[in-house]
Amino acid sequence: MKAAFHNQFGAPHILFIKEVERPTVAPDQLLVRVHASPVTQGDRRLRAADYPGISAVIGRLMFGVLRPKNPIPGTMFAGRVVAIGDEVTRFAVGDDVFGGVDNSAQAEYVAVAEDGAVAPMPSGIDYAEAAAAPYGAATALSFLRDVGRVQPGDKVLIVGASGGVGRYAVQIARHLGADVTGVCSARHAELVRSLGAGRVIDYAKEDYTQSGATYDVIFDTASGDGFRAARKVLAPSGRYLTVYLSLLVLAQMLVTAVLGGRKVRGAVVLPSQQLTRDVGALLEEGAVRPVIAAQFPLDHVVDAHAELEEQRPAGEVMVLIGSPPALQLAS
């Protein structure tokens, strides 16, 4: 089968297409014919060995010190089940599925554990839309629903509202009943409004910490050291959420947990089947919608990775693989 491949860490140009053996299916696995896989910021980090803060040492030990342990990139996928192991009971050949894996999704086939982060594809969307959602939507849902405990009527500020997590955070916060403000660049303001933000702040012209407004939740998807500035616009029992864990953030989490009042909360969101199903439910009911900025065939995987890294688009960059079968899309 064809697969994207890299045998060193670095920029997009290190990728190439290679013929590799199709994965064999263990008794508890599905073999999925992949039809779409996004290039995520997580994929970029793994390809470049660019791990933030205290995760740098751990990242190298887990994913390769001098060269990648897993040379086929891609962590999110959508496709059709073409084979199942003898012990699989929840999926059947012919099922359309989507979800996440540790690696190797940017290939024609990927093996997925039955109890992994895989779920039936929701009706009414295509493979690209399904594959685009889990990375950002699962992170946003976990932070806002579970970590931040957003309630109807809360005032929520999303920093980095046009980014891969921020776009879903705006939609999910609105779905949870919050009054949403997004912080992004002026060129992405209309997109963020269309996703559900009642107000958009252009960070180049206005400092949200000087606006005079207060927020119950600030979800910072763009940096990991903003609490000291953000606390002045947090409500007395407000929560500052960040996707970036550093020694500073961990210390702030500990101190604010002990002192009470305004809290710093961070987490590592691990893919799971239930979280993937939850994202599927949001997609099916129309509570969230992916924004796709560009699509490339597998043979142009270098261009796809470069598009994400160099253009910083306000939408998902998709790798399309093979000729997908027809889907029955809801009207």
* Contacts for 160 with CB less than 8 Å, ≥ 6 apart: 166, 183, 184, 220, 221, 222
Q: Per the structure, how many domains does the chain have?
A: 2
| CA–CA distances in Å: residue 116 to residues 28, 30, 50, 119, 205 | 10, 10, 26, 9, 44
Residue 259 lies in a domain: yes
Q: What is the pLDDT of residue 44?
A: 87
The answer on 260 and 153 residing in a single domain is: yes
Q: What is the pLDDT of residue 53?
A: 64
Q: What's the CATH number where 179 sits?
A: 3.40.50.720
Residues of the chain with pLDDT below 70 are 52-65, 224-225, 326-331
The answer on 12 and 118 residing in a single domain is: yes
The answer on 52 and 23 residing in a single domain is: yes
The answer on 152 and 240 residing in a single domain is: yes
d(CA 164, CA 133): 9
Residue 326 lies in a domain: no
Residue 89 lies in a domain: yes
Residue 282 lies in a domain: no
The answer on 105 and 163 residing in a single domain is: no
Residue 331 lies in a domain: no
Q: What is the pLDDT of residues 48-75, one digit of tens each?
A: 777 766 666 666 666 666 788 889 999 9
d(CA 144, CA 170): 10
d(CA 240, CA 187): 26
Q: What is the pLDDT of residue 331?
A: 33
Query: Angle formed by the axes of helices 166-175 and 127-141, to 10°?
Result: 70
The answer on 176 and 106 residing in a single domain is: no
Q: What is the pLDDT of residues 205-223, one digit of tens each?
A: 999 998 789 999 999 998 7
Q: What is the pLDDT of residue 330?
A: 39
Q: What is the pLDDT of residue 64?
A: 66
Q: What is the pLDDT of residue 259?
A: 86
Q: What's the CATH number where 47 sits?
A: 3.90.180.10
The answer on 121 and 64 residing in a single domain is: yes
The answer on 221 and 178 residing in a single domain is: yes
Q: What is the pLDDT of residue 54?
A: 62
Q: Which domain holds residue 100?
A: 2-125+290-320
Q: What is the pLDDT of residue 59?
A: 67
Q: What pTM does this model have?
A: 0.90
Residue 226 lies in a domain: yes
Residue 280 lies in a domain: no
